[in-house]
Structure 1
């Protein structure tokens, strides 16, 4: 079983992911910014770790990552200012990848979004541009990092109950429940055929493990 460091440990997907990983027998450390969220994370079976990744430099992040087997990035600025979006979704994410390289932690999974690509098509005057631009920059850096990477790119997130069923490369918005996104991340950690792949998905008709298998 793996020692997993999860960035963005109090996010909606992360709080659903943590108990799945714990039940699989993994040891999960969940990085959070707000100490008031420690109890929520601890209730999942994960160990909360308070750290402000927005301001941590490479050396600090390397110390944070060291000793783990897998890094999962599920953090984000959550909208708001473009400056903070770039600071978290691009810059901090990239530092965490460089930290994984420096620490010798080779396995890295990124929770991205279905439209993350160089030609994402979001106009510069659109309020969503900073997010689209930042996520693609982070994904592109990960692909060139030398890490054993997997990019998981869900469509529009919903709060519906889990289905356990997805479709890879769906048409349209690719709506998918957050619970199923969590299940995809958990399945990908245990499936080495996902290494070196960007997997875009939404809810569908295929069991998750079957859908993501290479």
Structure 2
């Protein structure tokens, strides 16, 4: 059994992830900002922890993370103002990485996006720029830590039924079912072959898709 803390615990992917982890015997703490979301989280079998990561400093986050075996960052500002996007997707994410290091929790899984690259190509006058810029900064910070980090870059998220299959470095936007993203996270957490890697993926096609466990061990 592992103790796993998931930031962004009420997100659609996190709500799909928690039952997968609980079913295999893991103890899951899902961090949420809104106490109204406690029942939704508890239905997954996870323990809800109400905390605003946008407001908490590194010391406070260290105490929240301490005692866990792995951290999953699946939180985000969800669009809106650029200032809040930077505050959550970049700054708060970075604080949790630093807090994980301070708490002695080496395993850290970042849920990013398929286009998170230095040359992501999003122009500064595009409303998506702040997200692209913030995620790249957070991903780069993780690469520079001493954590056993993995950056997951799923493509365009869909509500399709899960296939259990993915393709690495897919062409185009890399459409992928949210449930398959959750399954990738679950498989990644305890898979040492994913440490230090950036894994960009989508559901692929019949010719390119392989079982998730096989793709991650490639």
**TM value normalised by structure 2:** 0.97
Q: Which residue of 1 aligns with 2:80?
A: 80
Is 1:210 the counterpart of 2:214? The answer is yes
Residue 74 of structure 1: how far off its partner (Å): 0.1
Partner of 1:151: 151
CA deviations on 1:86-138 (whole Å, 9 max, x unpaired) are: 00000000000000001000000000000001111100000000000000000
Residue 24 of structure 1 and its aligned partner are, at CA, apart by 1.3
Which SS does the other structure have where 1:166 is aligned? strand
Aligned to 1:201: 201
| 1:70 maps to 2:105 | no
Deviation at 1:186, TM superposition (A): 0.3
Q: Which residue of 2 aligns with 1:21?
A: 21
**Following the alignment from structure 2 to structure 1, what is the Cα–Cα distance between the partners of residues 41 and 200?**
27
How far has the Cα of 1:190 moved from its partner? 2.2
Matches within 5 A, 1:40-55: 40-55=40-55
CA distance in 2 between counterparts of 1:164 and 1:77 reads 28
The Cα offsets for residues 120-171 of structure 1, whole Å up to 9 and x where unpaired, read as 1100000000000000000000000110000010000001111101000001
Matched pairs, number = 214
Q: Which residue in 2 is equivalent to 1:165?
A: 165
In 2, Cα distance between equivalents of 1:121 and 1:213: 30
Q: CA deviation at 1:189?
A: 1.0
- Give the SS at the match of 2:10: coil
Distance 2:196 2:24 in 1: 23
Partner Cα distance (2:58, 2:196) in 1: 24
Unpaired runs of at least 5, structure 1: none
Alignment of 1:40-189 (within 5 A): 40-189=40-189
Distance 2:113 2:186 in 1: 17
CA RMSD of aligned residues (A): 0.6
* SS of structure 1 residue aligned to 2:109: strand
- CA distances 1:57-105 after superposition (whole Å, capped 9, x unpaired): 0110011110101000000000000000000000000000000001000
Aligned counterparts of 2:157 and 2:163: Cα–Cα separation in 1: 13
Q: 1:166-195: CA deviations, max 9, x gaps?
A: 000001100000000000000101211000
